[in-house]
Structure 1
Amino acid sequence: MEASQQNPRSWQEMRQWQVELLERTTGQSLEAWNELVRREGPAAEKELRAWLAEHSVTGYSQMLLVFERFGYPDFFTRSADELVQGQYADRPQLREIYDAVLALLPQLGEVAIQTRKTYVALLTARRTFAVIAPVTRTRVDLGLRWEAAPDSPRLSAPGSRLGSAVTVKAGLRSAGDVDDELIGWLQQVYDANL
């Protein structure tokens, strides 16, 4: 997976990474899998997911094959910049929080940025370690994959909006909330997910 410091990967780049992952983990090309799915796979999405799991195709590879079979969501064709602009369109005052978090990423190490429809995922070479999501008109949540999170009033349970990888979140109401304590936490989370 290529890492980029400040340039989010587009969905098209993510798709290419998923194709490579599928081929690397299964030994079969995307074309071969698409043919197998057409020939032998169930016609309904839920059943196809179960069938793929039985064939040891899970995670991003499974998502790729489901999209290939049933079509890609419309946001898949948008650029990373368009997706981020859409996230902050009705809350432009929160964009500075997102920019402040992105600005500190180079000091953490190699970070890949993957833009989604409602949030931005931050990844080490191994996995997602954090997500940034504007969740209200006054708050951006920084979700963290952090099993050893300290007991702090700044951290709380993440809820379901930030994805299943996130174990805690920090609510950020201004760029000033991206302070030394938060930067230290983000470094610990990054290091724990290498």
Structure 2
Amino acid sequence: MATPDEMMRSMVANMPAKTGRSLDEWLVLARAAPEPKHGKIIAWLKGEHGLTHGYANLVATAHLSPERLAPPTARSDADLIEAQYAGKEILRPIHDRLSELALQLGDDVELAPKKTYVSLRRSKQFAIIQPSTKTRIDLGLNLGDLAPTGRLEAFGPANAMVSHRVRLEDVDAVDAEVMEWLRLAYNAA
């Protein structure tokens, strides 16, 4: 079942097809309503413009209380990370170990979760932790022109903010070699 927010967004998206005008166009009309009260705007939109009660209520609400129709607030960092590992829980220990090691590099390290990865930053991004598949995390590293070797691969065009990656399928793969690459990326940032 859809949430009230999802239903409202659906109504806004369907408004042009159902009513002949977008929400923004209806808001221009609502500003011209003879009385600036919620119930009076609804009655006016229904009587003068033929809107159904649901659409008239949506327009009146958007006109008088636009904050009620604002997009949902950003998800917390913890929520973003949980969402990244939904169905990929087996990878979470790798993520946690990489995060722990990154924070040990210096007091200026920031973990900045995005929708699909966690950015590791100091003055700029130096690495990312990205659960790329259900069985693998890609540790993306910004190592500039360092030649790829062994497990350290060129990352390709997937993320222009990192130049290399290491594919990690279990926490034991987060070893001294990975820590050294992480340290090199941190020092270069």
* Common fold: TM-score over 0.5: yes
- Whether 1:86 aligns to 2:80 is no
Structure 2, unaligned stretches of length 5 or more?
A: 1-69
TM-score, normalised via structure 2 length? 0.59
- Whether 1:181 aligns to 2:188 is no
- Whether 1:129 aligns to 2:121 is no
Greater gyration radius: 2
Per-residue deviation, 1:148: 3.8
Amino acid at match of 1:95: R
TM-score, normalised via structure 1 length? 0.57
After superposition, the Cα gap between the structure-2 partners of 1:87 and 1:73, relative to the gap in structure 1 and judged at 3 Å, is farther
Aligned length: 120
After superposition, the Cα gap between the structure-2 partners of 1:184 and 1:73, relative to the gap in structure 1 and judged at 3 Å, is farther
Q: Deviations over 1:59-95 (max 9, x none)?
A: xxxxxxxxxxxxx976x61111111000001110000
Amino acid at match of 2:170: S
Q: Partner residue of 1:100?
A: 97
- Whether 1:171 aligns to 2:167 is yes
Aligned partners of 2:103 and 2:110 also within 8 Å: no
* Structure 1 ranges of 4+ moved more than 3 A: none
Structure 1, unaligned stretches of length 5 or more?
A: 1-71
In structure 2, C-alpha distance between the alignment counterparts of 1:177 and 1:78, rounded to whole Å: 30
Greater relative contact order (CA < 8 Å, ≥ 6 in sequence): 1
Q: Deviations over 1:121-162 (max 9, x none)?
A: 0001x210000000011100000111142431202222444x
Q: Partner residue of 1:29?
A: none
In structure 1, C-alpha distance between the alignment counterparts of 2:86 and 2:170, rounded to whole Å: 17
Amino acid at match of 1:156: E
Q: Partner residue of 1:118?
A: 116
1:146 to 137, 143, 146: 143
Per-residue deviation, 1:96: 0.5
Q: Partner residue of 1:50?
A: none
After superposition, the Cα gap between the structure-2 partners of 1:83 and 1:73, relative to the gap in structure 1 and judged at 3 Å, is farther
- Whether 1:157 aligns to 2:150 is no
Amino acid at match of 2:74: T
In structure 2, C-alpha distance between the alignment counterparts of 1:73 and 1:179, rounded to whole Å: 42
> Sequence identity, in percent?
38
Q: Partner residue of 1:190?
A: 186
After superposition, the Cα gap between the structure-2 partners of 1:175 and 1:73, relative to the gap in structure 1 and judged at 3 Å, is farther
CA root-mean-square deviation = 2.0
